[in-house]
Chain A
Amino acid sequence: MKVSDEMLMAYADGEADDTTRTLIETAMRDDPEIARRVARHQALRRAVQGAFAGVLDEPVPQRLVAAARGAPAGNVVDLARAREGAGKRLRRWQPAAMAASLVLGLALGYLGWRGSNPLVTSNGELVAGAGLADALSTQLSSDRTPGRIATTGLSFRAKSGDYCRTFSLTGTHTNSGLACREGANWKIKVLAQLPETPSSASAFRPAASADSPAVRAAVEESIDGEPLDQAGEIAARRENWSAHTSR
């Protein structure tokens, strides 16, 4: 009786039926070559078994746990909608909208499990969550107090009349963005992931938010005149960053 390689494979995988198993075990005793081929299958099985094993030890992102428990939409960042919404916005601000929205998606994926979300969706648009919105509304760009959710970089008036500010989320040091005050929300116009800079990622990196090319390009395209100086920021803050104040 000829023993095929697929039969040996099935035997090594524990898939052989009783008859085949007996047959193969007899063949293994009689023929060292058969035994060697089975051992080869078993060795491969063991080698492949551990592939991606590290993934099992990683903490599962909270957004996935929430999704599995059927969390109502809104508690979880809706990636598709956030991407789509941001993509639409970005087109106005910078040509590389596709690439940037991909970056946005990746950054969101990363941010998703960081506990309280600095970014949330509102009517399908990405806006600053409570903590980030507070930082954008109250912090001056000169403020480098540690422990804040974000540092703010440039503040300026956009051609639309809206006030916009660049920011860097602290803790990650790799996410920066541009937000503009529209109505009651700080809408996220661009969110970019900075390349890792382990040596320079210190708390004292100046105006880090301007470091991302995507953010800088968006600022350059939208800025009306010069960035605000500190007096300008204080004045804007007094008006709650409302676009309707006189220019």
Chain B
Amino acid sequence: MSTNASAENIQEQIVALLPRLRRFARNLVRSPHDADDMVQIAVERALLRLDQWHRDARLDSWLFKILRNAWIDEMRSRGRRARIFMPEEEGEHVGEASIDREVDRLSVESALARLPEDQRLAVSLVLVEGLAYKDAADVLEVPIGTLTSRLARGREALQAMLRLPEGDQS
């Protein structure tokens, strides 16, 4: 198997994953432009480290992990300057608008923004990105038990914020 051909193939797989990487980045970084910057940094890093990707691992999880680590580096170097990262108070005024069902989407997103980071990332990877528990745990580099407990607490908090109807009638 030609390594060049497979490298190109992986590049196209990464291109196909860009929309999801951009979506995940919005959970990390508030501004869409900065979120895209993070995606660009992550993608460039990924290409440099293609040899570290194990073929049996999921490419999306691997990229999510690089993106998350790039974000951690970026956050350290910026020292949370300029408030471009999700401020926790943001959801507090947006959340009140949730009586209006038209802004249902917004309220889910602002509720997510109010979660502590650990829980937000667990919820985002499992419920939004659809990763299996073990893959999400791998992205976050925590044991699976830690992942499930963050997920459970995050859901509990979201449930309280979103006040979803009890049970499911649909």
Give B1-58 interface residues, CB cut-off 8 Å to A: 11-12, 14-15, 18-20, 22-23, 26-27, 31, 33-34, 36-37, 39-40, 43-44, 47
Q: Is the CB of A106 within 8 A of B33?
A: yes
Closest Cβ–Cβ distance, residue A191 to chain B (whole Å)? 14
Residue of A nearest to B25 (CB): A55
Docked Cα-Cα span, A160 to B41, in Å, equals 36
Residue of B nearest to A55 (CB): B23
Q: Which residues of chain A come closer than 8 Å to B11, judged between CB atoms? A: 68-70
Docked Cα-Cα span, A101 to B165, in Å, equals 47
Q: Is the CB of A9 within 8 A of B148?
A: yes
Give the secondary structure class of B's interface.
helix
Docked Cα-Cα span, A46 to B133, in Å, equals 17
Q: Which residues of chain A come closer than 8 Å to B33, judged between CB atoms? A: 105-106, 109-110
Q: Which residues of chain A come closer than 8 Å to B79, judged between CB atoms? A: none
Q: Is the CB of B128 within 8 A of A56?
A: no
Q: Which residues of chain B come closer than 8 Å to A195, judged between CB atoms? A: none
Docked Cα-Cα span, A69 to B149, in Å, equals 38
Contact with A along B142-170 (1 / 0, CB 8 A): 00000011011001001100101111100
Q: Is the CB of B108 within 8 A of A48?
A: yes
Q: Is the CB of B105 within 8 A of A50?
A: yes
Docked Cα-Cα span, A110 to B164, in Å, equals 37
Other-chain contact of A36, B105, B128, B151, B167 (Cβ < 8 Å): B167
| B75 located at the interface, meaning its Cβ lies under 8 Å from any Cβ of chain A in the complex | no
Docked Cα-Cα span, A39 to B132, in Å, equals 20
Other-chain contact of A40, B18, B112, B159 (Cβ < 8 Å): B159
Size class of the B contact interface (CB-based, 8 Å):
35 or more
Contact with A along B102-142 (1 / 0, CB 8 A): 00110011001000000000011011101011000000000
Q: Is the CB of B167 within 8 A of A43?
A: yes
Q: Is the CB of A47 within 8 A of B23?
A: no
Q: Is the CB of A52 within 8 A of B27?
A: yes
Other-chain contact of B164, A10, A40, A61, A109 (Cβ < 8 Å): A40
Docked Cα-Cα span, A58 to B35, in Å, equals 14
Docked Cα-Cα span, A79 to B37, in Å, equals 8
Give B76-124 interface residues, CB cut-off 8 Å to A: 82, 104-105, 108-109, 112, 123-124
Q: Is the CB of B148 within 8 A of A48?
A: no
Other-chain contact of B168, A6, A10, A39, A53 (Cβ < 8 Å): A39
> Assuming the A-B contacts A44-B158, A49-B128, are A55 and B19 also in contact, with contact meaning beta carbons closer than 8 angstroms in the complex?
yes
| A13 located at the interface, meaning its Cβ lies under 8 Å from any Cβ of chain B in the complex | yes
Q: Is the CB of A68 within 8 A of B166?
A: no
| A60 located at the interface, meaning its Cβ lies under 8 Å from any Cβ of chain B in the complex | yes
Q: Which residues of chain A come closer than 8 Å to B40, judged between CB atoms? A: 63-64, 67, 79
Docked Cα-Cα span, A41 to B158, in Å, equals 11
Residue of B nearest to A106 (CB): B33
Q: Is the CB of A48 within 8 A of B151?
A: no
Docked Cα-Cα span, A42 to B112, in Å, equals 17
The 9 A-B pairs at the shortest CB distance, nearest first, are namely A109-B33, A39-B168, A55-B23, A68-B14, A48-B127, A43-B168, A39-B167, A56-B19, A67-B43
Given A56-B19, A110-B33: 13 more A-B contacts, CB < 8 Å: A6-B149, A36-B166, A43-B167, A44-B127, A51-B109, A52-B109, A52-B128, A55-B26, A60-B18, A63-B40, A64-B40, A68-B15, A105-B33
Interface, chain B (partner A; CB < 8 A) = 11-12, 14-15, 18-20, 22-23, 26-27, 31, 33-34, 36-37, 39-40, 43-44, 47, 82, 104-105, 108-109, 112, 123-124, 126-128, 130, 132-133, 148-149, 151-152, 155, 158-159, 162, 164-168
19 contacts across the A-B interface (CB closer than 8 A): A9-B151, A15-B132, A40-B164, A40-B167, A46-B168, A47-B104, A49-B127, A50-B105, A56-B19, A60-B15, A60-B22, A64-B39, A64-B43, A65-B18, A67-B44, A69-B12, A79-B37, A106-B33, A109-B33
